[in-house]
Amino acid sequence: MNSIVIIGGGHAAAQLCAGLVEAGQGARVHLVCEEACEPYHRPPLSKTFLKSAEEATQPHKAADWYRDAGIALHLGDAAQAIDREAKTVTLRSGAVLPYERLVLATGTRARQLAGLSTTALDNVVSLRAADEAQRLRTRLLAAQDVTVLGGGFIGLEVASTAKGLGKTVRVVEVAPRLLGRAVSPELSAHVLATHRAAGMDIVLGAKVGAIEIDGNRLASIEVDGVKQEVDLLLLGIGAVPETALAQAAGIECADGIVVDAHMQTSDANVLAVGDCTRFPDRRAGRALRLESVQNANDQARTAVATLTGAPKPHDALPWFWSDQLNLRLQMAGLMPAEGTPGLSTVRRPGPGANPNAFSLFHYVDGQLVCVESVNAPVDHMMSRKLLEAGKNPDAAVVADATVALKTLLA
């Protein structure tokens, strides 16, 4: 009855397993995965995995590692119910797993759109997991024209991959700019210009109207009153947290499973980590839900500390990245909302004279809060260190590319 049951197969679950093994707790762990494979790296699914039918998923750890660590794997056997009073988890197979501590790492699922079913329509796809990536790859390699509904990270990464494969690509975004909830207007404008320069048709502020179905295929979609034929359509309109298990068990949820700074839910015996959580963030001064590999890994480390009796509050600096066309986008800290009082931005040139390499340092009332870097990995790493250390370099100094950022850490 001293088992730790982990439900989930993403980055958070994989990091949690690794941390518990390092702490000598591997033999206590049961890992329950809905997918019939060990946890694998998700970022390549929108990039290298789509380019070749021979490309395989990249597991975090081989099956032998789990066996040697003493971790019991329950693959392809989704959790169906949690009994908090009995402290058990019932699986689809009927197996019942008792637990001392339970960790929910259930992640997210792709947001769907009424009338555009990714199961009923053969040429409408979404992308969150390996089976969806396999389905997308098969159809992408055969398609000539690709329509991406949504101008977020996943949509733009897939659009970039499709363009690299020689496809005609159209991105349809209902918001007035790309990546509107994630990056600054300045960076958004640069991304837009880069994608358009590569030959993509990008429609912003789009009004999506009637759709036409022909058998099991989407034949056309109306954009700004114009009927457009569809060869292949990717739904890239965001994700929703997987909270059904938690909600059914009476665990507090609010656009995510609510946790404290130690990753504990409203039930002291149940923790949650990763994309499915809503957690308190010191820097933002409010509760957040973040979808990123970094956040999943950091929260898993916090959960390991809690589970092993050495609790340490979660206080990690958020950072993100995205590869699109010839852009390596790296963000450190959280971008304040557009129109935030006292928000100012200074641009720092990147290495050499490359106009496609720069960093944007964002201040609120003179306090550095976020740095966005384009093809400037050294500046990104130094910016993370500055933010983690609470440094507040003068904007005029930051704008001078002859000043090495590492000198500002002293």
**For 304-340, how does the pLDDT look when each residue is reduced to its tens digit (9 = 90+)?**
999 999 999 999 999 999 999 999 999 999 999 888 9
| pLDDT at residue number 67 | 96
Residues 327 and 180: their CA atoms lie apart, in Å, by 17
* Average confidence (pLDDT) over 32-48: 95
pLDDT of 49 strictly over 90: yes
The rounded radius of gyration (Å) of the Cα atoms in the chain is: 22
Q: Can you give the pTM of this predicted structure?
A: 0.95
Assess if CATH 3.30.390.30 describes domain 326-409.
yes
- Residues 6 or more apart whose CB falls under 8 angstroms from that of 283 comprise 317, 333, 334, 369
Burial (0-12, 13-18, 19+ Cβ within 10 Å), 226 = exposed
Residues 248 and 235: their CA atoms lie apart, in Å, by 28
Q: Which residue has the tokens 């740095």?
A: 371
* Average confidence (pLDDT) over 375-386: 97
The structure tokens listed for 330 are 């790296």
Assess if CATH 3.30.1490.20 describes domain 4-107+242-307.
no
| pLDDT at residue number 225 | 96
Q: Are 211 and 222 in contact (CB under 8 A)?
A: yes
Q: How confident is the model at residue 354 (pLDDT cuts 50, 70, 90)?
A: confident
pLDDT of 355 strictly over 90: no
Q: Which CATH number fits domain 111-235: 3.40.630.30, 2.40.37.10, 3.50.50.60, 3.40.50.300?
A: 3.50.50.60
Q: How confident is the model at residue 401 (pLDDT cuts 50, 70, 90)?
A: very high
pLDDT of 219 strictly over 90: yes
Share of the chain above pLDDT 90, in %: 94
Q: How confident is the model at residue 404 (pLDDT cuts 50, 70, 90)?
A: very high
Q: What is the mean pLDDT of the chain?
A: 96
Q: How confident is the model at residue 1 (pLDDT cuts 50, 70, 90)?
A: low
The structure tokens listed for 249 are 């068990």
| pLDDT at residue number 237 | 95
pLDDT of 40 strictly over 90: yes
Q: How confident is the model at residue 209 (pLDDT cuts 50, 70, 90)?
A: very high
Q: How confident is the model at residue 353 (pLDDT cuts 50, 70, 90)?
A: confident
Cα–chain-centroid distance for residue 379?
23
Residues 385 and 100: their CA atoms lie apart, in Å, by 38
* Average confidence (pLDDT) over 236-243: 96
| pLDDT at residue number 37 | 95
Burial (0-12, 13-18, 19+ Cβ within 10 Å), 290 = buried
User: Same CATH fold, 111-235 and 4-107+242-307?
Assistant: yes
| pLDDT at residue number 201 | 98
Show me where the domains of the chain are located: 4-107+242-307, 111-235, 326-409
* HEC assignment per residue over the chain: CCCEEEECCCHHHHHHHHHHHHCCCHHHEEEEECCCCCCECCHHHHCHHHHCCCCCCCECCCHHHHHHHCCEEEECCCEEEEECCCCEEEECCCCEEECCEEEECCCEEECCECCECCCCCCCEECCCCHHHHHHHHHHHHHCCEEEEECCCHHHHHHHHHHHHCCCEEEEECCCCCCCCCCCCHHHHHHHHHHHHHCCCEEECCCCEEEEEEECCEEEEEEECCEEEECCEEEECCCEEECCHHHHHCCCCECCCEECCCCCECCCCCEEECHHHEEEEECCCCEEECCCCHHHHHHHHHHHHHHHCCCCCCCCCCCEEEEEECCEEEEEEECCCCCCCCCEEEEEEECCCCCCCCEEEEEEECCEEEEEEEECCHHHHHHHHHHHHCCCCCCHHHHCCCCCCHHHHHC
